Amino acid sequence: MSGPLEGITVLDMSRVLAGPWAGQLLADLGARVIKIEHPSRGDDTRGWGPPWLAQEDEREKVAAYYLCANRGKHSLAVDIATEEGQALVRRLAAGADILVENFKVGGLAKYGLDYASLHAENPRLIGCSITGFGQEGPYAHRAGYDFMIQAMGGLMSLTGEADGMPMKTGVAITDVMTGLYATVGVLAALQERGRTGVGRHVDVALLDVQVATLANQALNALVSGRDPERHGNAHPNIVPYQAFACADGHLVLTVGNDAQFARFAALLGHPEWARDPAYATNAARVGNRAVLVPMIQAILATRRRDEWLAELEARGIPAGPINTVGEAFDDPQVRHREMQRVLKRGELEVPQVANPLRFDGASATSEVAPPRLGQDSDALLAEMGLTAEDIARLRRAGVVR
């Protein structure tokens, strides 16, 4: 089945996670994505292992990290520090629709491959530049990495136990969210180009995204004038909405309204809580969490986790287990939605996680496995009109792989 972006060509000149995540999403949506990589090292994340795919095969060996963000792409290994390499990329850009890049500000200009230069030759080209701090401002020249941005952008101050060290999230969530925002911006520019015939430049900064995605916590601070405190696995605005220990493990309880709390109180044997002014409303429960939460904890600790989960499910009270990653993939709902996939590249099987988008019931997940470094160089160069002798010469010179 063709995707919504069939016929769109993307030059993915990004590496690590935020840019490649956007490129992979565009590939899943049907775009042809050409990943430009350095001939000798490729994307940095190819070497960010272990774990490795095909540990024993040097030709196929690649870090799992790389595999998470490069499905559906063609790999063209070309050295853009050479004049011939630059010329090849300019030829590709002349026929492309979208450029995604995450070089430092001004980093592509020295090669003549910055958006302004490429847009001058192809006015329909849409550019998306992903950086740590944006194209302007006092930090614009700095490199940006997810961990550092989580710290600077306030997320770590909200994460962790109240009396413990501020913590990062277990996934590079700022990079992932930046990739999603970048994709939204690119698709908006593509829609606009349909009216105007002219592309525009999208500037996406990790720090901007991190601040923007503080969501309710940002408004908690702006409305109250106070920095939010860390609550560990509890919620600053909702009670009870946190992890609790049971007799044999933990569960997460997410009581989102007063009706759910009334059913929960009845389950615990204390229906009077739902009538008590100290606990009847969420605002009251937030104000009295120090008293209410220990009472809930004492009762939940008396029974096994799965017994409580069954009781909660039967009463329509949202709750769930705290799964490991392996347990999450083995969950019946996750299996039903086919979130774990295996793509083939020849005889090699490449594990993948499906794109969560579905169109008319069909998953928007590319069936093309992440490429080997330079896997598609010959085919792409031949499409550009280069002969076998031209390609061989460029390969001997180290311009392509």
List residues with catalytic annotation. Answer: 175
Read off the amino acid at residue 364. A
Helix (H, G, I), strand (E, B) or coil at 277: coil
Output b/e per residue, 121-135; b: 16+ Cβ within 10 A. Answer: ebeebbbbbbbbbbe
User: For the chain, what's the residue count?
Assistant: 401
Question: Rounded to whole angstroms, what are the CA distances from 218 to 94, 134, 168, 214, 229?
Answer: 42, 20, 17, 5, 12
Distance CA 68, CA 60 (A): 16
Helix H or strand E encompassing 346: none
Report how many helices (DSSP H) and strands (DSSP E) the chain contains, helices first: 17, 15
Distance CA 293, CA 279 (A): 11
The three-state DSSP-derived secondary structure of 18-47 is HHHHHHHHHHHCCCEEEEEECCCCCCHHHH
